[in-house]
Chain A
Amino acid sequence: MAMESESAPRWFLFAGRNFSNRYKNCSDWRRFGPNTMADDREVLRELWDGRLPIKFNLAADEVASMEHPEPCYLLVPRQSYFPLVADKVQRYFLKYTANSQGEEMWLEYEGQPLKWHYPIGVLFDLHASSTMLPWSLVVHFQKFPEDELLHCPGKDAVESHFMSSVKEADTLKHRGQVINGMQKKDHKQLWMGLQNDKFDQFWAINRRLMEHGEENCFKHLPFRLYQADKPCIQRLFRPITEEGEQRLLGDLVREVAPQVFNTEVEDTSGSWKVVIQGVEPPMETPVQWLSEHFSYPDNFLHICLVNSR
């Protein structure tokens, strides 16, 4: 695949719309030409529309009814959060469990409790990127793992968490000037756009958070890097060098997770994949571009380091 030669070469490759085949392995690409406004916006739309088919099963030891419930299937947005999409699942399974009072539902994948405050796409990329679809999850109502999971008292908690991520991201990008300069109704519109899956409503406000004004980049890059069984990593990282050159994904990974490139040491754990939004962007991709186009609605670039063994 030839590189488009420009002063700042830009690749943007992402899995196509037909997720059911293409998300099976993250290396399925469709390449667009040199970036134009239309192409860039199409990237945003493609990512927004990304869906994951999920199969929910009630934990076998929590079934209190004579009849074992059938699994529940849902197509969920990668950009959303489980508490926003799993009401039906909760209502459906609750009646098969022992008559408990207001116990909080939690989800598990192969023994791993799933953190509701991570976007769904991040959870899949981090824990299950090589699994066959539909993604099979276990639903629990008992023995809430308090040492690992935050409680989710309701949708207000999701909104609060989401908005606090948006604010933190803007603090990193613009010293908080853009988000603090908005009215409460704008903040609400961001949240409602996400909750109701309204791309235009969301991006009407979000595009202001993606502007970089007089400088040609953000002050710092809002990103979080995840590895299974480790706390997530967040550091200050400037998108351009002091000489004004674009910093690339490879630069970021080298700085924050050098083991990915450490081929000198005999690494028995296998090689690593760097996955963002379900795909592996080339290491030559400028991080500024990734931040503007591959961030989740909370304005963070969520990067998953996945062992490819």
Chain B
Amino acid sequence: MAAGTLTWCRFKDEASQLLRHSERIKDGWEWTEVEVDQAGGSFLVKKDVVRPTSERVCVKHCVPLEDREDEDDTDVLDVEDSMEEADINTVQCEVKETQYYRYQYHVLYSTSYCVPVLYFIASRPDGSQASLDEVWSSVPASFQSRLQDDRWTFLTQQEHPVLGCPMFQLHPCHTATMMQPLMQETQDKEMGRCSYLVSWLSTVGPVVGLNLPLSYAQVGHVT
């Protein structure tokens, strides 16, 4: 296999190992088989990952006036005068509200690039799909600045190769290049075989909010 890539067989084996560990620590990964016996036709899925995605400025009714510690009486009077009687005890103010989106992650195998590929969708609280801009805004700032130039090539909406539905994808064309020194390093240091899948997922996952607990480091470790 070309450097930095993995075979479908190894992908499946390492997926099994990951699933066993996930089961142990109740991490929620599942295996989905759609095209049995086809390379790339089955994949890993993790659903219902809730994470803060964006801060929204909204108008809310806040603490009643009489409960506010407001030293400046004139201001209070002005506000009272301008408000309707019904609202006399509340004040409208702007607050930043964190939105929690529901993420679903799929890890597929690309037969073209011979690497794993990460797909995901993000649903807003009302069930509708988040836009690419919203998803970008949730990418940690440190990654954003580095990826900004390659934005259009790195994270895009694509058709899921097996299910056909729209999902966001982390583009696989640089994966082999990224993984090659990593895999070489572990081989050179005679650390035995480590899990390509775990190494890869722990590297790219955090960019889009998927964090792997440290205990995964032991997965597939064969000396």
Chain A residues, CB < 8 A from B162 = 231
Q: Are A160 and B113 in contact (CB under 8 A)?
A: no
CB-CB nearest in chain B for A230: B164
The answer to whether A164 and B153 touch (CB under 8 A), given A153-B132, A236-B111, is yes
Chain B interface (Cβ within 8 Å of chain A)?
2, 38-39, 111-113, 128-129, 131-132, 152-153, 156-166, 171, 173
Cross-chain contact of B153 among A163, A171, A172, A231 (Cβ < 8 A): A163
CB distance from A149 to the nearest CB of B (A): 7
Q: Are B2 and A231 in contact (CB under 8 A)?
A: no
CB-CB nearest in chain A for B2: A175
Instruction: Give the docked Cα–Cα distance between A50 and B22 (Å).
Output: 53
CB distance from A112 to the nearest CB of B (A): 13
With an 8 A cutoff between CB atoms, is A151 at the interface?
Answer: yes
Chain B contact residues: helix, strand, loop or mixed: loop
Q: Are A147 and B166 in contact (CB under 8 A)?
A: yes
Q: Are A161 and B156 in contact (CB under 8 A)?
A: yes
The B-contacting residues of A in range 146-166, CB under 8 angstroms, are: 146-151, 153, 156-157, 159-161, 163-164
Q: Are A164 and B173 in contact (CB under 8 A)?
A: yes
Q: Are A164 and B156 in contact (CB under 8 A)?
A: yes
Chain A residues, CB < 8 A from B161 = 231, 234
CB-CB nearest in chain B for A234: B161
Contact bitstring A200-221, B, C-beta under 8 A = 1, else 0:
0000000000000000000000
Q: Are A171 and B166 in contact (CB under 8 A)?
A: no
Instruction: Give the docked Cα–Cα distance between A159 and B153 (Å).
Output: 9
Instruction: Give the docked Cα–Cα distance between A58 and B168 (Å).
Output: 30
Q: Are B38 and A235 in contact (CB under 8 A)?
A: yes
With an 8 A cutoff between CB atoms, is A78 at the interface?
Answer: no
Chain A residues, CB < 8 A from B166 = 146-151
CB distance from A179 to the nearest CB of B (A): 9
Chain B residues, CB < 8 A from A156 = 152
CB distance from B127 to the nearest CB of A (A): 10
With an 8 A cutoff between CB atoms, is A167 at the interface?
Answer: yes
Chain B residues, CB < 8 A from A172 = 112
Chain A residues, CB < 8 A from B163 = 231
Cross-chain contact of A157 among B39, B152, B164 (Cβ < 8 A): B152
Instruction: Give the docked Cα–Cα distance between A234 and B161 (Å).
Output: 8
Q: Are A171 and B173 in contact (CB under 8 A)?
A: yes
Cross-chain contact of B156 among A157, A175, A234, A236 (Cβ < 8 A): A157
Instruction: Give the docked Cα–Cα distance between A232 and B160 (Å).
Output: 10
Cross-chain contact of B165 among A148, A161, A234, A236 (Cβ < 8 A): A148
Instruction: Give the docked Cα–Cα distance between A235 and B161 (Å).
Output: 11
With an 8 A cutoff between CB atoms, is A40 at the interface?
Answer: no
CB distance from A104 to the nearest CB of B (A): 10
Chain B residues, CB < 8 A from A149 = 166
Q: Are B157 and A151 in contact (CB under 8 A)?
A: yes
Q: Are A167 and B132 in contact (CB under 8 A)?
A: no
CB-CB nearest in chain B for A147: B165
Chain A residues, CB < 8 A from B112 = 168, 171-172, 234
Q: Are A160 and B164 in contact (CB under 8 A)?
A: no
CB-CB nearest in chain A for B157: A150
Q: Are B152 and A146 in contact (CB under 8 A)?
A: no
The answer to whether A235 and B157 touch (CB under 8 A), given A147-B165, A151-B132, is no
Q: Are A164 and B171 in contact (CB under 8 A)?
A: yes
Q: Are A150 and B39 in contact (CB under 8 A)?
A: no
Chain A residues, CB < 8 A from B38 = 235
